[in-house]
Amino acid sequence: MLKSLEDLNRARKLSETGQYAAVVDYLGDRPDTELKESPTLALLFGTAQARLGRHSKGTQWVEIALDRSRDRGDRAIEARALNDRGAIALVTGNIDEAADYFTQALAAAERVDDHATVGRCSNNLGIINNLRGQYARAIGSYTMAIAAFQQAGHQRGIAETRPNLAITYRDQDELERALDEADRAVEEAEGVDDPTLLAQVLAGRAEIRLMLGEPLLAQHEVKRALKTHGELGNEVEEAQDLRVLANALAATGNDDEAEQILRDVIERASNLNRPLLSADASRDLARLLQQSGREDEAREAARAARVLFSQLGAEAEVRKIDKAFS
């Protein structure tokens, strides 16, 4: 049994350093009744399950944490549980549901002056705004998130937000500005004891380097990320890395290998219930096939990507596909 605060802190530390498989192993041996007694443990367990792509299990435990926190009047855990419930909805493609949870969580966090959770909610709302092509609103959300994290002294949160800000600049073709934010994200992540986080920001910077015409440097960085995520058993992030690696390989003429990897990523994304990753990989495959002169196959892949982006409310991506494959 979990007999001490030290045990709780260990589970929290594993979670904070991105060791989600270790969290599941550590807490999974406990009886369900024991985890249900603690909203914090239930939340840590559910969040770890979701981060590993086990969304049904993750949702179950985050909902338990939400109910228990409300029963006990623990408003801080309630806010965090609402945010994590929204995060699950976001990655599984339920964008409107996610936005509703994040908005509820933001209000709850503001009521208890939980600046770190205000930052997390604002960061997540920024992701949704960016998906919808509302770039000015996304930048505003990210700016609010960084300010909240700074107020909380939460370096990890800043390091998580800056890559998303970089993505918004990248999506507007402001690549130098995107690279500047990605560089700052790497600097922040290097000061946090979390190899998963550093790997994520390196993979994000690799994609920007690729767009700037630096495919070999992009390959080097994304392979570092891929190695870390593989060692930690994080299948979701590993699949994300492989998508970036495939594009970097294609940029250096390795089209056959890139195509094989992208098709593998699409299959993985489907198995992990990650519709955005599936959409991104299908779009990338369509571009690769188009460049190879395989127009019919390219249009088929583009249609698959368009359906997914449309379901996600990613209007800017839908417009880009319509323009490129009309």
On the CB side of 161, CA atoms within 13 Å amount to 29
pLDDT given for residue 4 in this prediction: 55
SS3 211: helix
Write the pLDDT tens digit of every residue in 216-246.
999 999 999 999 999 988 899 999 999 999 9
| Beta carbons within 8 Å of 63's beta carbon, 6+ residues apart | 46, 85
Cα–Cα distance for residue pair 314/129, rounded to 1 Å: 9
Indicate the range of 21-30, 101-110, 207-216 predicted with least confidence.
21-30
At residue 1 the predicted structure's pLDDT band, cuts being 50, 70 and 90, is very low
Cα–Cα distance for residue pair 41/61, rounded to 1 Å: 9
Mean pLDDT over 270-287 rounds to 96
- Residue 34 scores a pLDDT above 90: no
Closest CA to 240 of 104, 47, 51: 51
Contacts 24+ apart (CB under 8 A), 30-34: 30/1, 30/2, 34/1, 34/2
Mean pLDDT over 302-318 rounds to 93
Q: What is the mean pLDDT of the chain?
A: 94
Top mean-pLDDT range of 38-47, 255-264, 268-277: 255-264
pLDDT given for residue 309 in this prediction: 95
Closest CA to 210 of 201, 221, 226: 221
CB 270 within 8 A of CB 292: no
Cα–Cα distance for residue pair 170/119, rounded to 1 Å: 22
CB 218 within 8 A of CB 185: no
pLDDT given for residue 6 in this prediction: 73
pLDDT given for residue 232 in this prediction: 86
Write the pLDDT tens digit of every residue in 125-166.
999 999 999 999 999 999 999 999 999 999 999 999 999 999
Write the pLDDT tens digit of every residue in 180-207.
999 999 999 999 888 989 999 999 999 9
- Residue 74 scores a pLDDT above 80: yes
Amino acid occupying residue 40: T
- Residue 285 scores a pLDDT above 80: yes
- Residue 3 scores a pLDDT above 70: no
At residue 93 the predicted structure's pLDDT band, cuts being 50, 70 and 90, is confident
- Residue 2 scores a pLDDT above 70: no
| Beta carbons within 8 Å of 211's beta carbon, 6+ residues apart | 170, 175
Q: What is the 3-state secondary structure (H, E, C) of 134-185?
A: CHHHHHHHHHHHHHHHHHHCCHHHHHHHHHHHHHHHHHCCCHHHHHHHHHHH
pLDDT given for residue 326 in this prediction: 78
How wide is the angle at C-alpha 47 spanned by C-alphas 46 and 50, nearest 5°? 90
Mean pLDDT over 317-323 rounds to 94
